Structure 1
Amino acid sequence: MRESSSLHQKVQEMCDCYATNDPLKEMSRLQHQPDVDEAAIKWIALAILHGLNNNAEEISLEKTKSGSVRVVAEYRKTELPPPDNDIGDRIVAVLRDIIHVDSSQGESTLAFGFRNNSMELRLKTREEAGGRKITIGFP
């Protein structure tokens, strides 16, 4: 896996690139994209943009034991377009790598900036019942 600081930087750059686009529309276009690494980074950036644009409290991605992926944004319990399974796996791996989590549970604050904005995002990860969950908390 690549150095986590460069993954962090790529996510920020992707936010900058897609800041004026509709994040949900762009997320729905990621289904079955062949470059899983690029799709995961783009999906994370779009999820962050969606959360910021819509004043979300948090966005969670859950990968169940059966392999399905579910994404929920908490501001009014709305499901977002989920990535396919391979991209979902890679999203979890990228976020865990960015916050340096090697165990089944972890939590970290991530300094995040793009364009003229800067903020701290809360990232949490946990594994339970054979599934994994990553949550991005917004200020």
Structure 2
Amino acid sequence: MKDSGSLHLKVQELCDCYATTDPLKEMSELPRDADKDEAALKWLSLAALHGVNSNAKEIELVVKDDGTVKVTAEYRTGELPSPGPNVAGKIIEALKGITHFEEGKGKTPLALGIRDSSIELQIKMKPKDGGNKISIKFPE
């Protein structure tokens, strides 16, 4: 993965780029994206935008060792569009690079500039069901 500073900056740039789009629609198209590293960063930015736009409390991404991927938001019972196993693995890598969770677990705030304001997300990563779980918690 690239330098964590440049990954963070790229996510912020993508937030700016996708700020006027429908994040869920864009998320549903990511499994077909040829560049999985770029798709992972797009997913992170779209998840942040969706959470902000929809007043989400938390978005969770669970990736199991068998390749099963589940994405949910706390405020609804339905699932969000899955990025697919290839992009989901890259999302895990990107967040490890940004947050320095080399061991695959940890909790840290992540400041993210979106257009002319900023938001502080709480990022949590831990092993779950033979895979990885990422939680993106949004401020109230």
Normalised by the shorter chain, which TM-score bucket?
over 0.9
Q: In the TM superposition, what are the counterparts of 1:115-126 in structure 2 within 5 Å? A: 115-126=115-126
Partner of 1:37: 37
TM-score (norm 2): 0.95
Matched, 1:6 2:12: no
- Deviations along 1:77-128, one digit per CA (max 9) or x if unpaired, are 3311001111000001101211111113200001111211112100000013
**What is the rounded CA distance, in whole Å, between the counterparts of 2:126 and 2:45 in structure 1?**
21
Partner of 1:111: 111
**What is the rounded CA distance, in whole Å, between the counterparts of 1:37 and 1:66 in structure 2?**
20
Q: Is the 8 A contact 2:31 2:86 kept in 1?
A: no
* Larger proportion of helix: 2
Amino acid at match of 1:14: L
Q: CA deviation at 1:67?
A: 1.0
User: Do the aligned partners of residues 110 and 34 (structure 1) sit closer, same or farther apart at CA in structure 2, a change above 3 Å counting?
Assistant: same
Unmatched 5+ stretches in structure 2: none
Q: Percent of pairs identical after alignment?
A: 52
Matched, 1:25 2:25: yes
Matched, 1:81 2:81: yes
Q: What RMSD in Å do the two structures reach over aligned CA positions?
A: 1.0
Where 1:124 maps in the other structure, the secondary structure is strand
TM-score (norm 1): 0.95
User: Do the aligned partners of residues 25 and 129 (structure 1) sit closer, same or farther apart at CA in structure 2, a change above 3 Å counting?
Assistant: closer
Amino acid at match of 1:27: M
Aligned residues: 139
Unmatched 5+ stretches in structure 1: none
Partner of 2:134: 134
